[in-house]
Amino acid sequence: LPELPEVETVARQLDPLVRGRYIVSARIIDSKLREKGFPAITSLKLRGSRITRCYRSGKQIVIELKGSPQGGLECHLVVHLRMTGRLQFTQDKAQLKLLKPRAVLELDRGWIVFSDTRRFGTMRLFRNAEGFKPPGIDPLSDEFSLKLLSGMLAGSSQEIKAWLLRQDRLTGIGNIYACEALFAAAVDPRRRADSLSSEDVSALRNAIRRILRSAIRNCGTTFSDFQDASGGMGGYQRYLRVYGRAGESCGSCGEEIVRIVQQQRSTFFCTDCQK
């Protein structure tokens, strides 16, 4: 599942490739993408729109569009990759079919292709940026202060690992980076959120930010499906300290890394390093 670093990677790679380009046509191939309650994505509305930038908002990729003398709406095209979604740019027409697109945006140079084998991903059109604002705090934003995190944790008796996965609190942290951040902060994933000391909270906040930034530098983590905007793989998997390493020795203390299940999700941690 793409988490914050994978989504950021795709947005960062797409931005310089598509910024300033015009939409020539928008083709929705998978009718499942036409969701009720949103303006349908059609060539009529988007033809002539110019891409002003491409960026991440929560776990979504936003393609920001302005009208131009050729026409087109001022709007935001918002893509959520979910399980297996991929958003790629290509200038090779022969490659288009091979990518098995659910939707294709033809630009004045090249194509943006949205493909998605399991079809859980979404592509929606918003006139107003308020409409797709993520519910939680972005852990890489200035808003994510120590004070804010302390206050949020203080009100919760939930296990800290499960707490981190709730997208309406912090947005974009999934199973991989939750496990890695708790290891880096030396916090046992089974502890209650409100039991963390101020030192623990500070260590956790720093670990979350450091790990997410490092994963972005390495273009995310690829296990099975994630590909970046040019079809490449992430490189962060070689830096994982505990995730997927049950039975291996902990790199810090040599103790065996264990796997437990919390809320139907695997948690990997070191019982010796994490207290």
270 sits near Zn ion (criterion: CB under 5 A): yes
Longest CA–CA separation in the chain, Å: 65
Token couple for 209: 């930010």
Report the alpha-carbon distance of residue 175 to residue 56 in Å, rounded: 19
- Is 5 labeled as catalytic in the residue annotation? no
Chain positions 168 to 227 lying near Zn ion, rule: CB under 5 A, are none
Contacts of 142 (CB under 8 A, 6+ apart): none
Task: Tell me the site size for Zn ion, rule CB under 5 A.
Answer: 7
77 sits near Zn ion (criterion: CB under 5 A): no
**Residue 186 beta carbon to Zn ion: minimum distance, rounded to whole angstroms:** 9
250 sits near Zn ion (criterion: CB under 5 A): yes
Going by C-alpha positions, the residue among 51, 31, 50, 52 that lies closest to residue 41 is 31
Q: What is the residue type of 243?
A: Y
- The CA R_g of the chain, rounded to the nearest whole Å, is 20
Q: What is the residue type of 168?
A: D
Q: Which of 3, 6, 64, 180 does the annotation list as catalytic? A: 3
- Is 265 labeled as catalytic in the residue annotation? yes
253 sits near Zn ion (criterion: CB under 5 A): yes
Q: Which is nearer to Zn ion, 68 or 271 (CB)?
A: 271
**Residue 245 beta carbon to Zn ion: minimum distance, rounded to whole angstroms:** 11
271 sits near Zn ion (criterion: CB under 5 A): no
252 sits near Zn ion (criterion: CB under 5 A): yes
- Helices then strands (H, E): number in the chain? 7, 10
Q: What is the DSSP letter of 45?
A: H
**Residue 251 beta carbon to Zn ion: minimum distance, rounded to whole angstroms:** 7
Q: Which residues bind Zn ion (CB under 5 A)?
A: 250, 252-253, 255, 270, 272-273
The residues that are catalytic are 2-3, 59, 265
